[in-house]
Amino acid sequence: MNKQKLLLELQRIYVIIMMEVVGKGLVAASEVDEEIAREVAAFPAGLEIEMIVMPAGPSFRVRVTPHGTLELANGSTARPGLSIKIKHLSHAFLVFTFQESTARAFANDRMVADGEVSYAIRLVRCLDRMEALILPKLVAERAVKRYPVNLQLSDKIQKAARIYALVGKLFLTRS
């Protein structure tokens, strides 16, 4: 395997892992953080949201529960109410290595939203908040449009620990 093919394969593996982490992270964050919970509760119950690398690359899917949280819905065959499509693996790699924020990726036409625009904006706010909580501040400032000024270190550490614990539990249960 030549160097370029190896690099592409490593990028693909990284994006697959990050899709899993982000999907499970959103589920966990919807149970831990009040701000994300409020955003998710504003979605209609049963709404399915997917993020996918086009054309048929790595993806995750979540569903809004009647309780206003998210659950994994990776096996669902229903048409999602919101699909965030990343146009190429290299674009996904930029986002998931935090070289480009989700908002910047949309602005650079690397991602498209298929569904209600208001749902896409709400999801981006959830992603930004989750990243601000779970990533070190130096990395999160690059990953999000605006780092929350009112996020206290103690709150960040406590919520990040709970989110990581729930993500670990989701990986162990393979839901």
pLDDT, greater one: 70 or 102: 70
Both tokens assigned to 113: 């939203």
What is the CB neighbour count within 10 angstroms for residue 94? 19
pTM score over 0.75: yes
Mean pLDDT of 19-47: 97
pLDDT of residue 175: 47
Considering only CA atoms, which of 31, 21, 67, 32 is closest in space to residue 168? 21
pLDDT of residue 74: 86
Residue 173 to residues 19, 102, 130, 168, 169: CA-CA distances in angstroms? 17, 29, 21, 9, 6
Q: Cα(172)–Cα(24) distance, rounded to whole angstroms? A: 11
pLDDT class of 97 with cuts at 50, 70, 90 = very high
Confidence check: pLDDT of 18 > 90:
yes
Pairing state of beta strands 48-53 and 82-86? parallel
What pLDDT digit, counting tens, does each position of 28-39 carry?
Answer: 999 999 999 999
pLDDT of residue 174: 65
CATH topology classification for 3-166:
Nonspecific Lipid-transfer Protein; Chain A (3.30.1050)
pLDDT class of 76 with cuts at 50, 70, 90 = confident
Helices (H), the chain: 3-32, 34-41, 89-96, 102-107, 117-134, 137-143, 153-173
| Number of residues in the chain | 175
Confidence check: pLDDT of 9 > 90:
yes
> Cα angle vertex 138, ends 132, 144, to 5°?
40
What pLDDT digit, counting tens, does each position of 98-133 carry?
Answer: 999 888 898 999 999 999 999 999 999 999 999 999
